[in-house]
Amino acid sequence: MTSTTTLATRRLGRTGPTVSSPALGGMGLSGVYGQVDEDEAVRVLHAYLDAGGTLLDTADFYASGHNELLIRRALEGRDRDEVVLSVKFGALRGPDGRMSGIDARPASVRNFLTYSLQRLGTDHVDIYRPARLDPAVPVEETVGAIAELVEQGYVRHIGLSEVGAETIRRAAAVAPISDLQIEYSLLSRGIEDEIRPVCRELGIGITAYGVLSRGLIGGSGALGGARAALPRFQGANREHNGALVARLAELAAAKGVTVAQLAIAWVAAQGEDIVPVIGARRPDQVATMIDSGRVSFDAGELARIDELIPPGAAKGDRYPSQAMADLDSER
Please give the C-alpha separations between residue 210 and each of 45, 119, 224, 225, in angstroms, as whole numbers.
19, 26, 16, 15
Overall size of the chain counted in residues: 331
3-state DSSP of 114-177:
HHHHHHHCCCCEEEEEECCCCCCCCHHHHHHHHHHHHHCCCEEEEEEECCCHHHHHHHHCCCCC
Going by C-beta distance under 8 Å and a sequence separation of 6 or more, which residues neighbour residue 112? Answer: 60, 89, 90
Q: Which residues pair with 129 in a beta bridge?
A: 88
- Give the strand pairing for 23-25 and 55-59: parallel
Is residue 114 packed enough to be buried (19+ CB in 10 Å), middle (13-18) or exposed (0-12)? exposed
Active site (catalytic) residues? 62
Residue 203: how many other CB atoms lie within 10 Å: 15
Is residue 275 packed enough to be buried (19+ CB in 10 Å), middle (13-18) or exposed (0-12)? buried
**CA 93 remoteness from chain centre:** 20
CB 318 within 8 A of CB 210: yes
**Residue 163 identity:** V
